[in-house]
A and B are shown apart, each in its own frame.
Chain A
């Protein structure tokens, strides 16, 4: 941290951040205009400026014309560099930002798609938020990706947090940056309960009684067929024989599970949602059919990834007020 104190950016960022915080989130696609750009020398830039100043004083003092010439050349060079730096960012388009849903507590990974519609390449564009920094180089008329990871705190829709898109191209003397405030959000599922009781099985029982898991469900192996979910792969067999083999369970579709919010032996909205979440994942992993009942919503029985995400989204969006 001591090092950071000398960094011009460390005290200007918060200031500029505050000054520019009135900007509402913008809709995609965003084109970074020069109005949104800020430029400052980097630490090396400040050092380089001081060096030029020393050179200037020395050569003026000794009235050494060649030394002055070189000093002025470096000075002129330094004055022109911000133009290159700004140019590298200005006009860059952010076409879309995607984030897959995450469980609460995990980092949401926003993948930013950038498009360089210009005739010149844009080398070394960086994105930074919290601990993660990503970098990409865009050739002329090309697209590229950057990523911003944001730790999720609670379930629901999490908005993209203001992140910095910056570049120090071409020589690291200046940094130009834009604050990225797109109107983008990521769905955060409740965190699955750790150590949750096993999934209730059977139509009538959803009280959390240990599930009847036994050999009778296991029906054997068969050759892998395209479309078999990977969780059904018999990896041990594959490893032994080299043949792609799938496990077959019997009677899955006969078992109907209803996961009911009201029928949980625990208190608290979040705790219940967590348990439901954990059960949904469990059920999906085992390929079971299940239905979800929430106070404000009912989801018909189904199975598969799409069904799971549908249910998890319902959990994420669940309003505690509706439990009423």
Chain B
């Protein structure tokens, strides 16, 4: 007797046995995929280290070389630690930690002698996957990482099959193809999705962190800051990432009114505008003067800053937000997660009809010894012109008639930045204009200040929301006039009306990068609604939303106990279903459709009193059936004819199959 198909294995050897080429290929592929999104955050030498480790390991495996000696590994580890420390200046920050994790992963690749090492690497790979979300939670990254998790899981299956591969020594792919591996891993993970969703919805969340503070979301775009100096906003122009999204209740303001107000800047040092520390009460607004308010909810992307933006002028400040006298809004904690704010704005509301002496002084401040030409021009205007309102008008006229141009590549300006701009270069974008205009007004004795923020936004008709991108960043001015209070003046609009009417991108004279085309922008706008949905429904899901989950069932505020109960019930149901499905799938013995139909025929005949015997062919059986039920001769003949054709004559036609089904139906 020969028992060729059993294979005897020495178990301890299997457990310790080195991964074979197939395991190694899958393992290294998963590691490379999982590390890839981190690359931009990692030191430059990491890529070299990782590739070298992979190449070395593959080479060892191919040529049956022994592993490199331990002291070299130790030296490499110490070097890598030092490298991380040099790169990040610490070993404890989040970036340094992920860097360390990735470096350890690369070093461990060199030391995959045993099965246990492979398992350790796989676990590390899963962990590296999860650390990505500390930096970025976008929809696309999530999709990518899901794919990576499938590959990692497929690697586990590859390892599991390794003993069989080694024992039979047959070619690797003969057992289970790569595609099949990926599919089985995908299926196993997909079966987990309902359970995952249940856990996600009902698993009790923490009210406040157990340790540490919620750290800054590191991919946050700084966006508008509280300083303005030529060149600051330019960085934002090339950044198409969203700043915030706005949903309006009712009327949407026209493009030319979409001034999203951020920090107001008072102090000018000749080049840079900064904020004044004016902690004060919010401006008093007479509710009766509110005429046509815009009501909206504004969802901010995380920034590392405190500043909150709102449609100029804000009459109702959102929760947890403070407003200062100059209408600058901020939150006490930096905005580190997606934050939704409900606000009311009315663009026509008057602001500060009275200006206190302190504010007047601040709004007239100019550095000494800068911009003499501007001062001279202002003095001249002051003599020639009656009222401050006319001076403002004159300045605007100057911008629109005296050859000023809107450009993102202005020539450099020197120490007397305003003089240089107004009298020499005459070319720039919103920062230049608002800065020069405000300085000019101050020189002419008109209280004025710079306001930074965003202007415009893309309205998504389908999903009905307004998307404001970083590239919509803008700066304008406010002047204070007697009896009228603060008035918004946008000198940029005088030069390039398109900037305000169409948006920053349409005023660009050249494409901003290799992928900057009109249709691509349109595509990005389209995809943004997907990302927004993701942000709102998934990333922004929190304890409060969880508690209102069972509202449709009449439970207004779900308690912990209820959520645990719901979790248990639904999970058990899902597990039971999975169990039933998987067992059934196994026990479905005969996938043969045609045979199933024949079985159905037998079943019907059994009801009519004719039972087939196992040794009986279909034709013999039909003969007996016909003898027993002569009235059904035609139907039986049709069934058996079709069956015999399909089964024995090799006809694979669906027409015949349909005929068989029809014939069966007539029998019942």
Residues from 188 to 223 in B contacting A, C-beta threshold 8 Å: 188-189, 191-196, 199-200, 203, 205-206, 209-212, 214-215
A135 to B10 Cα, complex, angstroms:
10
Query: Are A66 and B203 closer than 8 Å at their CB atoms?
Result: no
Query: Are A83 and B6 closer than 8 Å at their CB atoms?
Result: no
If A66-B137, A73-B196, A80-B191 touch, whether A51 touches B5 (CB-CB below 8 Å) is no
Name the A residues within 8 Å of B130 (CB-CB).
55, 58-59, 67, 70-71
Task: Return the contact of A70 from the options B5, B10, B149, B206 (Cβ within 8 A).
Answer: B149
Query: Are B188 and A77 closer than 8 Å at their CB atoms?
Result: yes
Query: Are B192 and A77 closer than 8 Å at their CB atoms?
Result: yes
Nearest CB of chain A from residue B93's CB, rounded to whole Å: 14
Task: Return the contact of B14 from the options A51, A133, A145 (Cβ within 8 A).
Answer: A133
Task: Return the contact of A64 from the options B127, B137, B191 (Cβ within 8 A).
Answer: B137
Name the B residues within 8 Å of A66 (CB-CB).
133, 137, 141-142, 538-539
Query: Are A135 and B195 closer than 8 Å at their CB atoms?
Result: no
Interface string of B559-582 (1 = CB under 8 A from A): 000000000000100010011001
Within 8 Å of chain A (Cβ to Cβ): is B358? no
Within 8 Å of chain B (Cβ to Cβ): is A61? yes
Nearest CB of chain A from residue B564's CB, rounded to whole Å: 14
Residues from 80 to 119 in A contacting B, C-beta threshold 8 Å: 80-81, 83-84, 87, 90-91, 98, 100, 111, 117-119
Name the B residues within 8 Å of A48 (CB-CB).
123
Name the B residues within 8 Å of A176 (CB-CB).
none
Residues from 161 to 200 in A contacting B, C-beta threshold 8 Å: 168-173
Name the B residues within 8 Å of A84 (CB-CB).
188, 582
Within 8 Å of chain A (Cβ to Cβ): is B359? no
Query: Are A61 and B126 closer than 8 Å at their CB atoms?
Result: no
Query: Are A51 and B126 closer than 8 Å at their CB atoms?
Result: yes
Within 8 Å of chain B (Cβ to Cβ): is A287? no
Within 8 Å of chain B (Cβ to Cβ): is A266? no
Within 8 Å of chain B (Cβ to Cβ): is A63? yes
Query: Are B586 and A63 closer than 8 Å at their CB atoms?
Result: no
Task: Return the contact of A79 from the options B5, B123, B126, B195 (Cβ within 8 A).
Answer: B195
Interface string of A43-76 (1 = CB under 8 A from B): 0100110010001011111111111111111111
Task: Return the contact of A145 from the options B5, B188, B199 (Cβ within 8 A).
Answer: B5
Stretch in B82-90, B393-401, B588-596, B657-665 with 4+ CB within 8 Å of A: B588-596
* Contact-residue bracket for chain A: 35 or more
Task: Return the contact of A169 from the options B133, B160, B193, B199 (Cβ within 8 A).
Answer: B160
Within 8 Å of chain A (Cβ to Cβ): is B161? yes
A69 to B538 Cα, complex, angstroms:
9
Name the A residues within 8 Å of B6 (CB-CB).
111, 134-136, 144-147
Of all chain B residues, the one with the shortest Cβ separation from A54 is B127
Name the A residues within 8 Å of B123 (CB-CB).
47-48, 51
Task: Return the contact of B7 from the options A64, A72, A134, A169 (Cβ within 8 A).
Answer: A134
If A72-B199, A79-B575, A83-B578 touch, whether A171 touches B127 (CB-CB below 8 Å) is no
Within 8 Å of chain A (Cβ to Cβ): is B71? no
Task: Return the contact of B134 from the options A67, A77, A98 (Cβ within 8 A).
Answer: A67
If A87-B582, A119-B588 touch, whether A74 touches B163 (CB-CB below 8 Å) is no
Query: Are B126 and A134 closer than 8 Å at their CB atoms?
Result: no
Stretch in B98-106, B151-159, B362-370 with 4+ CB within 8 Å of A: B151-159
A111 to B8 Cα, complex, angstroms:
11
A69 to B129 Cα, complex, angstroms:
12
Query: Are B575 and A123 closer than 8 Å at their CB atoms?
Result: no
Of all chain B residues, the one with the shortest Cβ separation from A44 is B119
A73 to B150 Cα, complex, angstroms:
11
Name the B residues within 8 Å of A128 (CB-CB).
11
Within 8 Å of chain A (Cβ to Cβ): is B184? yes
Interface string of B113-135 (1 = CB under 8 A from A): 00010010001001101100110
Query: Are B142 and A171 closer than 8 Å at their CB atoms?
Result: no
Query: Are B127 and A55 closer than 8 Å at their CB atoms?
Result: yes
Within 8 Å of chain A (Cβ to Cβ): is B615? no
Nearest CB of chain B from residue A184's CB, rounded to whole Å: 15
Q: What are 21 A-B contacts with C-beta separation under 8 Å?
A: A51-B123, A51-B126, A57-B210, A65-B539, A71-B130, A75-B196, A76-B196, A80-B195, A80-B575, A90-B583, A118-B589, A126-B9, A134-B8, A135-B9, A136-B7, A137-B164, A137-B175, A147-B6, A171-B160, A172-B119, A172-B160
Q: Which 8 A-B pairs have CB atoms at the shortest separation, nearest pair first?
A: A76-B192, A76-B195, A145-B6, A171-B156, A133-B11, A72-B199, A66-B133, A67-B133
